[in-house]
Amino acid sequence: MPLSAVAETRNSLQLPANRKHLDGSDFPTLPIIRDPLAAMTSENEVIVGDSFDIALHLQKTYLFPSSPSKLSPDAGKQRQLFPAEGNGTVALHRAFNAFVDQLFSQHGAPLAGFYMPLDPRTADSDKASFVRRIPGVTKWEDLEIPKGSEVRKKMLAEFESALDTKLGPCFPSSATGDESKGTQGSGPFMDGRQEPMYADFIVGGWLQFMRGCLPEWEEMRNNWSNGKWGRLLDALEPWTNVDGRDGVVPARR
């Protein structure tokens, strides 16, 4: 979807802006889902317009053991986005989501935003729309932090340090984990888990954005925090194959 159509799309679905700028103004974003299967058990069409709320909807509708059997007959046997069916972990995930969002919004987004690979057919209108959505920005070029500049080098160093010190301890420092220290398992996900939970997807979503937009992505992927960000994204790869057609269940690779 073109950036210029995001606000109009949310308005047409009667979804308020799901984020705010630092000055309190609305910042409408994606994703949005319309769930035709869940609508079979509800009088109203199910439309959800926030990443965290979407995860909660999927957990409660398809993964939670008490989910309607015709939608999720094996719900109790499936992987859970929120461990322990969400008991005591949803609030922790919500706090973690805000923490990760703040970290990447402060450090990563300013370095990557200018380099978003926009659709050439709508690039001009997308740029104009994006500029209007950011307080204090008057033209697209205001977003550029030139490659190789001293300002950019300083911001990259601060980004790397913030990730390593604030988020890095949550994930194993090597492909084999830190079992010798007794603190983490051997899996690639948070705390060395063998299966991901929603916290892993929160970080993975931001890493996908960095992969698509940050010019220094290869350095970030392979060298920052001893390569743990690349390992995490690789481990999440099987969950990225999604069929977007209405009514088609996403395929797992």
Domains of the chain by range and CATH? 88-253 (1.20.1050.10)
Mean pLDDT of the 203-221 span: 97
- 176 compared with 155, residue with greater pLDDT: 155
Q: What is the chain's Cα-based Rg?
A: 20
Q: Tell me phi and psi for residue 46, to 5 degrees.
A: -95, 110
pLDDT value at position 136? 84
pLDDT at 57 over 60: yes
pLDDT at 29 over 60: yes
Give the integer Cα–Cα distance in Å for 30 and 26.
13
Mean pLDDT of the 212-241 span: 94
CB 112 within 8 A of CB 214: yes
Tokens in use for 160?
């790397």
pLDDT value at position 101? 94
Tokens in use for 238?
């099987």
| Helix (H) / strand (E) containing 167 | none
Mean pLDDT of the 227-244 span: 86
Q: What are the helix (H) ranges across 70-197?
A: 90-112, 123-132, 150-162
Tokens in use for 22?
């630092």
Whole-prediction pTM value? 0.83
pLDDT value at position 244? 52
Mean pLDDT of the 86-105 span: 90
The Cα-based distances of 189 to 42, 207, 229 in angstroms read: 35, 14, 10
Of 39-43, 79-83, 149-153, 207-211, give the lowest mean pLDDT range: 39-43
pLDDT at 183 over 70: no
Residue whose tokens read 């705390």? 191
Q: Which residues contact 91 (CB under 8 A, 6 or more apart)?
A: none
E strand residue ranges, 7-136? 33-34, 47-48
Give the integer Cα–Cα distance in Å for 240 and 237.
5
Confidence tier at 40 by pLDDT (50, 70, 90): low
Closest CA to 38 of 29, 48, 30: 48
